[in-house]
Amino acid sequence: MTFSTMHLYFDDLHVGQEFESLGRTITEADIVNFAGLSGDFNPIHVDHVFAQSTPFRRPIAHGLLVLACASGLSVLSPPMRTLAFIGIREWMFRAPLFVGDTIRVRSRVNDLRLRGRGRRGEVDWQRTIVNQDGKVVQEGVLTTLVECRPSAHEQPSDSADA
């Protein structure tokens, strides 16, 4: 994917800005595929009979699956000129997610730090993943590296070189 004119630069953000993603429903196929990809076949995720003996009474989605889905939802909420995901901290898993639950990601700009002599900046995002009832299932702080607007002397000229 290349960046488009709708993708925001670091310079377009301000502390306190908030965004909410579209929703995504977690399916049994998501859980089974994630178990295969990650190798995490813990019976709490994939064994319906075992899961009946747990406090949840049914399989729950992998916490990292939910985090990965939230990462995908955040790509366009907001659409940023992100160069790298560089950190995660204070991440908490607050509640289980089940097959058929739908998540959304609420993002808030917590901090902005200019880097690379003004060519990029670090953004600290407060990310909150909520289910269809608005209940927080996961939350924490993610840091991304985002491209800054090119300065006037770095922008390509519109005129043809002779």
Domain ranges for the chain:
10-149
Whether residue 1 is predicted with pLDDT greater than 70 in this model: the reply is no
Residues 6+ apart with CB under 8 A from 100: 25, 26, 27
Please give the residue that has the higher pLDDT: either 36 or 6: 36
Distance CA 108, CA 8 (A): 15
**What pLDDT was estimated at residue 116?**
84
**What would the pLDDT profile of 25-72 be if each residue is shown by its tens digit?**
999 999 999 999 999 999 999 999 999 999 999 999 999 999 999 999
**What pLDDT was estimated at residue 2?**
82
Confirm if 25 and 101 have CB atoms less than 8 A apart.
yes
Could you give the count of Cα atoms lying within 13 Å of 52 in the half-sphere of its Cβ?
2
What's CA 2's distance to the chain center, in Å?
Answer: 18
Helix (H) or strand (E) holding 142: strand 136-147
Whether residue 161 is predicted with pLDDT greater than 60 in this model: the reply is no
**What would the pLDDT profile of 96-137 be if each residue is shown by its tens digit?**
999 999 999 999 999 999 998 889 999 999 999 999 999 999
Confirm if 124 and 111 have CB atoms less than 8 A apart.
yes
Whether residue 157 is predicted with pLDDT greater than 60 in this model: the reply is no
Whether residue 159 is predicted with pLDDT greater than 80 in this model: the reply is no
**What pTM value is reported for the model?**
0.89
**What pLDDT was estimated at residue 162?**
44
Alpha helices (H) in the chain, listed in sequence order: 28-38, 43-46, 48-51, 63-74
Confirm if 145 and 79 have CB atoms less than 8 A apart.
no
User: Of the candidates 114, 34, 110, which has an alpha carbon nearest to the alpha carbon of residue 72?
Assistant: 34
What architecture is the 10-149 domain classified under in CATH? Roll (3.10)
Mean pLDDT confidence for 86-100:
97
Confirm if 102 and 135 have CB atoms less than 8 A apart.
no
